Amino acid sequence: MIRPILRYGEQPLHEPAPPVGEITGDIQQLIDDMIDTMYAAPGIGLAAPQVGVALRIFVADVSIGRNPADLLTFINPDVVERGGVQREDEGCLSVPGFNATVSRASRVVVKGLARDGREQVVEGTGLLARCFEHEMDHLDGALFVDRLRGLQKDLILRRIKKLSRTGQW
């Protein structure tokens, strides 16, 4: 089932998500729904808070569904290593229509549970590293806009406020 994606300003996006206690049938259904929602958007990653569920879960697929082996699910993830720097344009399904250059690590190692409950450690470089950090930000209650400074951030936030006032956000 495709779920609605929350937008910047909606409270669940701005609060840290608690860990998953047990991988139940409801959690499996949530993961299926998140995958369907991510592909339908289309996007390369989606965190549970983006669909209004305050839990530490994210899905990612930088192939956007072209390679089934690229689909990753993380439950209760932690970044265990990061290194290097990349500055690239970044967008977000919760901030549609806006992009900005964001600094991220060029290599990120994430440890967490796969959907079957087994522990996994995955190294991401380039786009996958960016995706990992972006989704981890969501689990910590932050969006890419929160990483911006100065005029760039002000312009985006003013535009979002204007869209909100006119009912277009």
- Condensed to tens digits (0 to 9), the pLDDT of residues 91-107 reads 999 999 999 999 999 99
Contact 44, 67 (CB under 8 A): no
Token reading at 123: 């190294």
Contact 98, 130 (CB under 8 A): no
d(CA 45, CA 47): 7
Domains of the chain: 11-165 (3.90.45.10)
| pLDDT value of residue 124 | 98
**Where residue 70 falls among pLDDT bands split at 50, 70, 90?**
very high
Q: Residue 17: what residue type?
A: A
Specify the pairing of strand 72-83 against strand 57-60: antiparallel
Mean pLDDT for the stretch of residues 86-95: 97
Known active-site residue 15: no
Q: Residue 65: what residue type?
A: G
Residue 77 three-state SS: strand
Mean pLDDT for the stretch of residues 64-89: 96
- Which has the closest alpha carbon to 63: 98, 38, 80? 38
- Condensed to tens digits (0 to 9), the pLDDT of residues 34-54 reads 999 999 999 999 999 999 999
Give the global pTM: 0.96
- Which has the closest alpha carbon to 59: 115, 117, 3? 115
Mean pLDDT of the residues in the chain: 97
Mean pLDDT for the stretch of residues 151-164: 95
- Write down the catalytic residue from 10, 15, 119, 135: 135
List Cβ neighbours of 104 (8 Å cut-off, separation of 6 or more): 85, 86, 87, 88, 90, 129, 130, 133, 134
